[in-house]
Structure 1
């Protein structure tokens, strides 16, 4: 427990240092909360993001402090709530701390536990096939909401959506050699992907952002929509892999019944999206899935900047995810057919 608190304190302190702020600025944030919610207990969230400090106030309120360069797009936040309902938090900007300039946001708390933490603390339960299957079913339900909602069409393209082609070109030449053919394949087939519905896609489906009910494995929602944007349906399917496995010191390790769990996910997704029974649509969605893997794990995250292709030896975990998530044997087969 003491070690966990020390790591949490370090994470928060690092946030203020990165922002060029002082311990007094940190105290000002705490004072702000105490004045806004007198007599209500509060605690720092056990999982802190890179770009913000998050505080739980009572049982129902989340307060988040962000510097201006990591401000939330409230149009995106509103769209997430409109499209995904209770799976996304209701977000409002409520104040700006005068001295530090930190923006203060209020959100409703999605009750549950981050899947990452629950997986680490309740290993046997979280690893049960029944638990993972329930989460796969709910994740499919969550994704289907984007396909059926036209609200997303009103959202301007974001950083990734405006730069898919140049990013793929960089990936096809700068990734380690074994991944380049996959990037070239996606680039050639991009027209199929772009013909899919463009939906509001969560920008960081990591295990720490997936909130689950610890007792049942049901998906309660996703947090941290700061990097969400409109993209072809399927690009966020990289998030399914985080449900089906986890990173270890030896690489990404899948659940023993991963094939069964994957089948459950696709069966549920087809139930909600009958168009996926069409071979051409399913092919395009699976290409979009690989596009998402390349964009989220083939491009490095450097202090909020996403414009560098990952490198062997420097971005070890991302390379390991690419190795695990991309079916290289299938890629070679498709490449061979395309050259005939």
Structure 2
């Protein structure tokens, strides 16, 4: 089968590889749509932290935002999964440790991460092996575009839940990328007033096209009932702490390429609760429900759908003018 393979920093190609075989407890999914995200770009550039720690090494087959149809089922898997449309969790815990046993399998020290950690192949390929325990069925109302947005949506939903807001309260989202915009859309669906802080007028103009009228390129001041930092700026955590009302929540979901600095004395004196969100685990089912019900429609966030052969240029930061300013690029591995 065809798969997109990153062979080294800045080097990638579409290769013919052996198709996966469903091991016991696993299925093989025919991939219909996969998303490309910032983590994938970091693997391509060589900046990804796992490449330094040895948790990932080249060659890497990326792709952890996906949707498809189950085509093979291994021993011990209910045959009823065959033919079902699905997406799934990126984080594959060992299933035996205390963290997995307590529902924290996404923090398992020995976890695989699809397309990212310890060599589990990703979804930028015609077929993908997945443990059946990681699958989430998709209803008819959730098409492949929405299905491939479930994983980033699960991250965003967990961030919104961690913000602990009531309808009518004020949320500041720092970073109008895919996760930030998904969090903003989900918060609005809950009756929250959302404002967005970004670096460029162009990114904020796109946010306004989605209906967000309160946008800023400079910090808007204090008093927000919660702040979600979905940016990759090392100074954003401190801005989040400045903006949040005392006694409320700051949620960190963005990752900077360099260490961020935060004065914990100010956090203590403001009695702020800080929450870190690592993955979509725990938010997948809720995201599927939001998409299926129509409460949240993230389709406008997808700028284009490309073939496997176009992925390397996307990861290098090249965009066609006709794609506009939507932040997400999707891949259909079936395209020639």
Q: What band does the TM-score fall into relative to the shorter chain?
A: under 0.3
Q: Which has the larger radius of gyration?
A: 1
Structure with bigger strand share is 2
TM norm structure 2: 0.27
Greater relative CO, 1 or 2 (CA 8 Å, sep 6+): 2
